[in-house]
Amino acid sequence: MSKPRFYVTTAISYPNGAPHIGHAYEVIATDAIARFMRADGRDVFFLTGTDEHGLKMVQTAEREGLPVRALADRNADRFRAMAGALAISNDDFIRTTEPRHYRSSQAIWERMVAAGDIYLGGYEGWYSVRDEAFYAEDETSVGADGVRVGGQGTPVEWTKEETYFFRLSKYQDRLLAHYEANPDFVGPDTRFNEVISFVKGGLTDLSVSRTTFDWGVPVPGADGHVMYVWVDALTNYITGAGFPDETDPKWAYWPADLHVIGKDIVRFHAVYWPAFLMSAGLALPKRVYGHGFLFNRGEKMSKSLGNVVDPFAMAEAYGVDAMRYFLLREVAFGNDGSYSHEAIVARTNADLANDIGNLAQRSLSMIAKNCEGILPTPGAFSPEDEAMLAAADGMLAVSREAMASQQIHRWLEAVWAVVGEANRYFAGQAPWALRKTDPARMETVLYVTAEVIRQAAILAAPAIPLGAPKLLDLLAVPEDARDFAALGTRLKPGTALPAPAGVFPRYVEPET
């Protein structure tokens, strides 16, 4: 039986600079979702990449005295390297300057033309060549020297630019009908409500080509026009799935199940993108989720950490699992969040080093010392054992429900609630005291504890993909018994375990 498919994407980032922590946050969250779905038996396709056209890129390259392509190449490499450094499991990395993407963008354009939705018109207004931007009359002013300047203080001239328009206005009713029929199309709800009121407020046609620069996908059959960067950017999601070759096996992944993006670009994904797809006669993505923004509120950054807004430095300083876990657990997904050195250290030392790491270390060391390193056979379960195992067995359903609506933090909350319970169980049962008084009972407690750690490690692995497998190694869990289907089984008593080793080190302030 073939697995159900799950296609998930991040936004594609502008490589006009190096990746920052906001980019890292988005790709980590999307990776956790992708890994969760893979572990839960889906055939996942996970796409990320870079959005390399547009004026922003042209202007940055000018400032840096580089050809635009050289700027794009340099920074796209950094984004790709970041995915590697953060243990991101993307299946593909798309750059919008690739030939496959030109083909795809021109193909969707031609379909929009065929649908009668593209027409030639003109922009007219005060234009700043230096800013490559139009200004409304009231954004300009005339200086003492008689020169009219725009909002940024650069000279403007009255300009007419020929441009193609997309008939966005035509799609207002169909978009509203789609929202009505698909109440999960956009999350969180607050973002969906903003989209709905924006569309109800009336849509005007969208300028979709530029003639003042040539760094873009050429408009087919229209010399001098390149596509407006958002037209080609959004198209990356179908390029990644093989469009326009609908016989490509990857095309089976379209429509995407989920576009994960930041809250600032919801309108592009929930209004323009579905309208383009409707025009082109293509299926619409099932869901768009706009996460919040991440802010650095850590005034007291440790000097030795340097600039921790750099995701590479952050991963280096705290470790990849700690960085990922902190961002996923601490920030309610969908809301804005902040991070600071103190918060990262407090959260990861408590949850990773202490709650799960220490529990594993203590219980497995006892098995090594007192059970000859063999996973003991449990005796009859006491009500406490039964309750503990039932709590562990209950994690999957809660996690699945949370992840069905991208409540990433709730999934991790559910797992760590059980890990906390396991610590109380272990302390309450005190197997070290049972060693002398009731060794059989000690063995049962150690077995139950090991079993709960197994389940927590399997369920948390999508968030902490480096350490969780190490915990499973310590429990001698076979490679093919590490997905969610294996949660329904139990550890096999009598299995020889490797020597225990620490998995999640405590963060200790470096000597200054």
Write out the residues near ligand ME8 by the rule CB under 6 A: 11-14, 22-23, 25-26, 51, 233-234, 236, 261-262, 264-265, 293-294
Nearer to ligand ME8, 12 or 352 (CB): 12
Of 14 and 135, the one with the shorter C-beta distance to ligand ME8 is: 14
Nearest residue to 262 via CA among 24, 6, 7: 24
Nearer to ligand ME8, 54 or 376 (CB): 54
Read off the amino acid at residue 48.
T
E strand or H helix at 226: strand 226-227
**Measured distance CA(449)–CA(428) in Å, rounded:** 12
| Pick 230 or 411: Cβ nearer ligand ME8 | 230
Residue 17 or 116 with smaller CB distance to ligand ME8? 17
Output the DSSP codes for 123-163. EEEEEETTTTEEE-GGG-EE-TTS-EE-TTS-B-EEEEEEE
* Distance, CA of 260 to CA of 324 (rounded, Å): 16
123, β-bridge pairs: 161
User: Which residue, 262 or 334, is less far from ligand ME8 as judged by CB?
Assistant: 262
SS3 call for 8: strand
Which residues, 6 or more positions from 251, have their beta carbon under 8 angstroms from its beta carbon?
Answer: 241, 242, 243, 245
DSSP state of 255: S
Phi (first) and psi of residue 435, to 5 degrees:
-50, -40
Gap between the Cα atoms of 317 and 323, Å rounded = 9
Q: Which one, 235 or 407, has the nearer CB to ligand ME8?
A: 235
DSSP 261: E
- Of 72 and 261, CB closest to ligand ME8: 261
Closest distance of CB 473 from ligand ME8, Å? 34
Look up residue 496 and give its DSSP letter. Answer: B
Q: Is residue 404 classed exposed, middle or buried when 0-12, 13-18 and 19+ CB atoms within 10 A define those classes? A: exposed
Residue nearest to ligand ME8 (CB): 262
Q: Which of 488, 453, 485, 492 is nearest to 469 (CA)?
A: 453
**Residue with Cβ nearer ligand ME8 (15 or 242):** 15
Q: Closest distance between ligand ME8 and the C-beta of residue 124, in Å?
A: 27
Distance CA 388, CA 407 (A): 25
